[in-house]
Amino acid sequence: MAQLIREIGKSGVSASAIGLGTWAMGGWMWGGHDDANSIKAIQASVDAGITMIDTAPAYGLGRAEELVGKAVEGRRDQVVIATKCGMVWDTDKGNYFVDEHDKKIHRYLGAESVRAELETSLKRLRTDYIDLYITHWQDPTTPISETMGVLEDLKREGKIRAIGISNVNADEMTQYLANGQLDCIQECYNMLERKLEDQLVPMCLENNVAVLSYSSMALGLLSGKIGPDRVFEGDDLRRENPKFSVENRQRVADFMKVLQPIAAVHNVEPGQVVIAWTIAQPGITFSLCGARNPAQAIENARAGEIALSTDELAAIDSAIAAHLGPVARAA
């Protein structure tokens, strides 16, 4: 069965509803990296019909972009590459955000910086255009009109094909809409984190803006592969995350048992049912799923080939209410 394909807003660019997320491939906050397996995972995704590949300069200080560039070389016309701007380590302009290794990351979306970031990303990705260019985090020191102005210029120049924004609030999205053609927002959304439904999803539906959801499996918690006995090591961000307490992982394991019969009907694993549920929600256009090896990539791709029935979706919603409430409330 072919992958479900959807359009990125009004851009005219279409991509698979299931996308490959490459944050973990960069290694930062994920306990290290494995470049060889990452490249194989990207290639396996493309082989399985996944066309949406999402990356960013901040994922390993350019490492993830470089891996994507290597993996899709010679296959550029088979993929829709989404990358980002606005998290920089070559300036102290904007707002300090976080340390990554020995670099201080600032959120900065000034016009000259956006142009410079794009040129660097093009080199890492071994391409001369980006399909979807996204402001990674918002910069309160730069007017949105300036940022949107340079993005529109880059689109007219043929260097980017669609414009997206990420980690925004309703007021920021309204300003972007007022200053150009916004094609996509990229936001955290999954069974445990559904705040997006309150304001941004209705705004997207009203304005024909696609929603690209990230963390669809809640950093792997909803993958069905992280049991109560799992130990997180190194700089893995899940070590201190209360959602990953032993008790919560047991609750998720119980939830996965409810999904097992539905998964069996479609010949998939419960984690793929989670992804399929995500893209079945009103207004959710795409679901980004991380993979660090070919097996994970192939499993994720299967989610784009199944369609859950109304009864199956209702059963899943009931199971979410019965099992995941305490996990969702963990902070």
Catalytic hit among 59, 108, 176, 214: 59
Strand partners, 84: 134
Please say if 59 is a catalytic residue.
yes
Both structure tokens of 262: 């539905």
Both structure tokens of 315: 């059963």
Question: Residue 165: what are its φ and ψ, rounded to 5°?
Answer: -135, 155
Q: Are strands 286-290 and 18-21 parallel, antiparallel or unpaired?
A: parallel
List Cα–Cα distances, 136 to 82, 133, 229, in angstroms: 11, 9, 34
Both structure tokens of 131: 């399909």
Contacts of 220 (CB under 8 A, 6+ apart): 226, 238, 290
Spatial contact of 174 and 202, defined as CB atoms under 8 Å apart = no
- Rounded Cα distance between 272 and 289, Å, is 10
Kindly list the catalytic residues.
59
